[in-house]
Chain A
Amino acid sequence: MDTGSENQYAMMHPEIPKFSYRLFKWFCHEDLFEELQGDLEENFLMNTAEQGKKKARKIYNYEVMKLLRPSAMRKANLFPKGIAQLSRNYLKTSVRAVRHNPGYILSNIVGLALALSISTIGYFYYHFNDTFNKHYDQAAHLYKIHGLRTSEATLGSSSITLAPSLRAAGIDAMRYHKETVAIRLGTRLFQESTVFVDPQYLESFELRSLSGQKLRLQNADEIFISSEMAEKLFGDVYPVGEFVEIVFPNEEERSFVVKDVFQDPPQNVSFHFPMITSFDNYLEFYGADENDWTKYIDGTFVNLENIGSDQVEAQLNTMIEPHNKYNPSRVIEKFRLDNILEWPNFETTLAGSSFWNTLHPASVWGTVSTAFAILLLACFNFINTSIALSGKRLKEIAVRKVMGGSRKSTIAQFMIENTFMVLASVLLSIGVSYFLIPAYNSLMTQEIVELDKVPLDTLIYFGIGLIIFVALLSGAYPSFYISRFSSLEIFRDKLVISGKNKLMLILLTFQFTLCFYNFSSLFVNVDNSLYQETLDRGYNLEKVINIPLSSSEQLAELKNRLDQHPDVLQVAGTTNTIGFNFRNATTTIDGMDHEVADLAVGINYPQLIGIRLIKGSFFSEQYESSADHIIINKMLEDEVGHDLLNKSIKLGDQVFSVIGVVEDFNLRPMMFENRIKPTVLRPSPEKSYRYATLESQNATTSLNLEIEGMWYELFPQQLYKGFLQEKVMEDIRATNTIMVNINLFSSLITVLISALGLYTLIALNVQRRSKEFGVRKVLGASKSVIIGLLGKDLYWILGIAMVIGLTSAYFVTNAVFDIIYAYHVSFGLSHLLWPTVSLVGIVVFTIGYKVLQTGKMNPVEQLRME
């Protein structure tokens, strides 16, 4: 038989059920896959034509199932060999044990299943960073060129001439640049980004079509688009041969022919784009000169497969000199090559770079440790219930021993039972994950868990590893502990497993510590996100729209039209907009230098945006009469230390006189280090206006759409890029949502599992001690005494858990908030009180009825039991 190994890039029909296909590929013998999959696919096409897509998919799934037979399966070890030989009797006993306590065992299984699903999510987080950019087969040879500088951040972007110069020296170099362009759809234009690349990029980064073919750009008027764009532009999954109309900034409109639709890469790569076309188009439509050292593009990459890095570095060294000559403001020390597997980790620290980067390590380890904590919690819960349940099976153990069973066989019995329960929860967790993962993804801003992009065998090995870990952790201790009991003691009724087992108490305390921790951080996070919403920015955040202008002449025309709109209150032009851009500058006051943020604004802009004046005045109506005036914020005045009104300050070479002092306001989205800074506002001449800013009366989203229509009547060839001032909040809102959701998620799950566990323990405790309570009652114990007895340990558990949980929540959330937010709520009494109240409430609710019932029970009932 010749070996018909599957052609690596053979096409998979896009309609074929992905999961079945991958499952089939995984288990099928390599020599048979090509033939069998080919046949299935041929039938699939035939069935689609004859019976419709849905039926065909069903048949395909069925056929794959039917191929699960030894002769078609891979011979490698799919499953570890030597799984212990299971005796039938062990199984029988296990089934009986389950049948006697279905409720408790079910709760155990459900808890563990939830935790396993969460662990899967945690694993995906780890996997996301671990395999970042590994999607590219040649990743190990691909490097990005960075410009190392002495005191400033490393340059991520590079000069447009770098790649051609390297290529002239025989080095495989390529450029990648992303630009926002306008796409025409009817009379409207809309904003999309397009990537311009050298042909070498497609070669090295292997862009592939839906059918797995390597894509190549042959002519400049060709474009490749993503399937999402295909759907959006043409409402068709495969619009090959259709035309995309692109309007470039020089108002030139061009048609590009859709050459093919490319496969979406997984989320964890640096390169994401809806459209990709030849770099020649960038040169043509953006007036870029290939010999211009000052023209910067997003990135230059080199492929070092056939060349040593020292050779490339030597070549790069010869380019430092011309680079520095033409870029005095971006002087570099040397060029550095960074592998694309490494670079995403520090992408955020680079200047002028805008590629996708790896998740923040804190976010990965945060998720992984939360997942691990929940998994531990579920395991502990499992251990506790197993031990508690075994109290009912003491006689069974004793009989086994008396009949000559060894301790080994008892251990084996319990291990097997526990392993089966773990297996059951694994099966259940597959179902849970199926619903949980989409739900989880929808909570996040980015889809981190991509089930259909992860290699199946990785997932399966992870699953097997997890099962072994959980089975050992949860199964081993109870088995050893229980099997130790002496049969004599059991028969004499001397042995009592009460809830007094120290380990059980410790484990339960751990569970509740985690609950307190999660609850508390949930409350703080919710509080903080409310705080971020209502925090005073020092200016008017709502009802303001900014419209970027491509030339300052547009303002007059636009203002004319906008002034007629009933909802528009006022319109002003400006160069910088608060929240989005400013310049760092140095000002000299009384001979002392101060670092300030320098905002060049329109004459009426400060009033419009709602900056609050403390003293002095705003700019006068005419630029000419205000040209040497400047407004400063309170913080700058405080820093100088005395009244600056009407004083002169020097900014650069120009002298300004301070005509007003305003309250502090925020310059950026208030995240990370973006605190309020000493700021100056100076008037900018009309010809340098880059935005039209307007204040409106009503909700602004619909108004923005209306203005968009207005804009295209005025400037049909110009892209409308208007955005709400509220955009400042975008990042912070996304972060808040994620923080709150993650906390909500883990709080709910920890509480659910712990409550299940607690209920089980109490219920078993009540059962076991029913005689004791009966006797106590007969001897005169009141209801409250009984309740007190049942709850005695619980007070301690909750107390200790509360102290540890709340303290750690305090330290951890404070540390996290300090990193993420410029300003945040401080941890207060209410963040301690509310979690405690609600958690105690939940505990009371869970066990209250059971305890009350026991307290009320007629002692006769309790004593008559046997």
Chain B
Amino acid sequence: MKETGLGEFQEIVLLAILILDENAYGAKIQNEMSQRLGRTISRGALHAALTRLSEKHFIESKFGGATTERGGRRKRFYTATNLGKSALNDAKTIRDEMWTLVPKINMQ
């Protein structure tokens, strides 16, 4: 087992980026996450997570072309790097391994 350095929130962000694939930019990621989690995610919180992720080189980003619907501002598209994907994989493996060790969940 090794340390992935991936927080839970960051993990969800990374997953959202993978789900959205080609179309992963700020507002989309934010909405995707809000929908999946069933609660509002602020753009500020997302920004913090994205910054951490790029610091760790788990994601890359580049600007798209100019758009009309957002006042001519360009979107920044995020893609997961190989490092990011393997970190995600590691995280999943760790969890799966741990799940196999859990005998049974009792809901009371």
Q: Which residues of A contact B (CB under 8 A)?
A: 1-2, 4, 6-7, 10-13, 32, 34-43, 45-46, 62-63, 65-69, 71-72, 211
Known pairs A10-B71, A39-B70, A72-B47; list 10 more (Cβ under 8 Å). A4-B74, A11-B71, A13-B71, A38-B26, A38-B71, A38-B74, A39-B26, A43-B31, A72-B44, A211-B71
Neighbouring B residues of A38 by C-beta, 8 Å: 26-27, 67, 70-71, 73-75
How far, in angstroms, from A7 to B68 measured CA to CA in the complex? 13
Please determine whether B26 and A36 come into contact, CB atoms closer than 8 angstroms.
yes
B57: Cβ under 8 A from any A Cβ: no
Kindly list chain A residues whose C-beta atoms are within 8 Å of the C-beta of B74: 4, 34-35, 38
Residue B106 at the chain A interface, CB threshold 8 Å:
no
Give bound CA distance, A66 to B43, whole Å.
Answer: 7
Q: Is the CB of A36 within 8 A of B47?
A: yes
A72 nearest in chain B by CB position: B47
Chain A residue numbers with a CB within 8 Å of B71 are: 10-13, 37-38, 41, 211
- With A and B bound together, what is the CA distance between A97 and B62 in angstroms? 56
B48 and A69 form a contact (CB under 8 A): yes
- In the assembled complex, the CB of B71 is this many whole angstroms from the nearest CB of chain A, namely 4
Taking a contact as CB atoms under 8 Å apart, the answer to whether B48 and A36 are in contact is no
Cβ contacts A to B, 19 pairs, < 8 Å: A1-B61, A4-B76, A6-B73, A10-B72, A35-B26, A36-B26, A36-B47, A38-B27, A38-B67, A38-B74, A38-B75, A39-B26, A40-B27, A42-B27, A42-B70, A43-B31, A63-B43, A69-B47, A69-B48
- Residue contact B69 to A71, C-beta cutoff 8 Å: no
Query: Is the CB of B1 closer than 8 A to any CB of chain A?
Result: no
The reply to whether B73 and A35 form a contact with Cβ atoms under 8 Å apart is yes
Q: CB distance B72 to A11 under 8 Å? A: yes
Q: Which residues of A contact B42 (CB under 8 A)?
A: 62-63, 66-67
Is B43 in contact with A36, judged by CB distance below 8 angstroms?
yes
Contact partner of B75 (CB less than 8 A), chosen from A12, A35, A66, is A35
Checking B44, B70, B76 against A41 with a beta-carbon cut-off of 8 angstroms, the contacting residue is B70
The answer for the CA separation of A66 and B70 in the assembled complex, in Å, is 20
Q: Give min CB distance, B33 to chain A, whole Å.
A: 13
The reply to whether the CB of B58 lies closer than 8 angstroms to some CB of chain A is: no
Given A39-B26, A39-B30, A43-B30: A66 and B73 interface contact (C-beta under 8 Å): no
A67-B76 in contact given A2-B63, A39-B27, A41-B71 (Cβ < 8 Å): no
B-chain residues with CB within 8 Å of residue A34 when the two chains form the complex: 73-74
Cβ contacts under 8 Å, B26 to chain A: 35-36, 38-39
* Leading 3 A-B pairs by shortest Cβ distance: A66-B44, A38-B73, A39-B26
CA distance A1 to B63 in the complex (A): 9
C-alpha spacing A42/B44, complex, angstroms: 15
Residue of A nearest to B60 (CB): A1
Q: How far is the CA of A853 from the CA of B25 in the complex (A)?
A: 72
A67 B43 Cβ-Cβ under 8 A: yes
B96 shortest CB reach to chain A, Å:
32
- B41-69 toward A: CB 8 Å interface, digit per residue (1/0)? 01111011001000000000111001101
Please, how many angstroms separate the alpha-carbon atoms of A62 and B72 in the complex?
A: 23
B51, B63, B76 interface centre (most CB from chain A within 10 Å): B76
Cβ-neighbour of B63 out of A4, A42, A211 (below 8 A) = A4
Residues of the A chain whose Cβ atoms lie less than 8 Å from the Cβ of B67: 38
Over the window 68-98 of chain B, the binary record of Cβ atoms lying under 8 Å from chain A Cβ atoms (1 yes, 0 no) is: 0111111110000000000000000000000
Say whether A67 contacts B47, CB under 8 Å: yes
Cross-chain contact A43 with B72 (CB below 8 angstroms) = no
Minimum CB–CB distance from B103 to chain A (whole Å) comes to 41
**Contact B51 A39, beta carbon cutoff 8 Å:** no
Interface of chain B residues 1 through 44 with chain A (CB within 8 A): 25-27, 30-31, 42-44
Q: Which residues of A contact B43 (CB under 8 A)?
A: 36, 39-40, 43, 63, 66-67
Residues of chain B touching chain A, judged by Cβ–Cβ distance below 8 Å, are 25-27, 30-31, 42-45, 47-48, 51, 61-63, 66-67, 69-76
Query: In the complex, A36 Cα to B46 Cα: how many Å?
Result: 10
Residues of B close to A1: CB separation below 8 A:
61
User: Are A63 and B44 in contact (CB-based, < 8 A)?
Assistant: yes
Among the listed B25, B44, B62, B75, which residue makes an inter-chain contact with A68, where contact means beta carbons less than 8 Å apart? B44
A4 / chain B contacts, CB cutoff of 8 Å? 63, 74, 76
In the bound complex, residues from chain B placing their C-beta under 8 Å from that of A32 are: 47
- Whether B70 contacts A69 by the Cβ 8 Å rule is no
Q: When chains A and B are docked, how far (Å) is the Cα of A4 from the Cα of B64?
A: 11
Question: Would A66 and B27 count as touching, CB distance under 8 A?
Answer: no
Contact between B30 and A37 (Cβ–Cβ < 8 Å)? no
Shortest Cβ distance from A16 into B: residue: B71
Chain B residues near A43 (CB-CB < 8 A): 27, 30-31, 43
Q: How far is the CA of A415 from the CA of B31 in the complex (A)?
A: 49
B69 touches A42 (CB 8 A): yes
B30 CB to nearest A CB, Å: 7
Give the chain B neighbours of A6 by CB distance below 8 A: 73
Q: What residue of chain B has the Cβ atom nearest to residue A3's Cβ?
A: B63
Beta-carbon nearest neighbor of B43 in chain A: A63
Residues on the B chain within 8 Å of A35, using CB: 25-26, 63, 73-76
- The docked-state distance in angstroms from the alpha carbon of A11 to that of B66 is 12
Residues of B within 8 A of A65 (CB): 44
Chain B residues within 8 Å of A67, by CB: 42-44, 47
CB contacts (< 8 Å) of B66 on chain A: these are: 7
Q: Enumerate chain A residues within 8 angstroms of B62, measured Cβ to Cβ.
A: 2
Q: Which residue of A lies closest to B61 (CB)?
A: A1
User: With a CB–CB cut-off of 8 A, which chain A residues contact B73?
Assistant: 6-7, 10, 34-35, 37-38, 41
Give Cα A11–Cα B25 distance, bound, in whole angstroms.
20
| Known A-B contacts A67-B43, A68-B44; A7 and B61 likewise in contact (beta carbons under 8 Å) | no
What residue in chain B is nearest A34 (Cβ atoms)? B73
Name B63's closest neighbour in chain A (CB-CB).
A4
- Complex: A6 Cα to B72 Cα, angstroms: 10
Cα distance, A1 to B50, chains bound together (Å)? 13
In the complex, which residue of chain B has the Cβ closest to the Cβ of A37? B73
A65 to B25, alpha carbons, bound, how many Å? 21
| Among B43, B63, B73, residue most surrounded by chain A Cβ atoms (within 10 Å) | B73
Q: Which residues of B contact A63 (CB under 8 A)?
A: 42-44
Complex Cα distance, B42 from A13, in Å, reads 20
Which residues does chain B contribute within 8 Å of A37, judged by CB atoms? 71, 73
Nearest neighbor of A33 in chain B, beta-carbon distance: B73
User: Is A66 in contact with B30, judged by CB distance below 8 angstroms?
Assistant: no
* CB-CB nearest in chain A for B62: A2
Residue among B30, B44, B45, B69 with the most chain A CB within 10 A?
A: B44
In the complex, which residues of chain B have a beta carbon less than 8 angstroms from the beta carbon of A39? 25-27, 30, 43, 70, 75
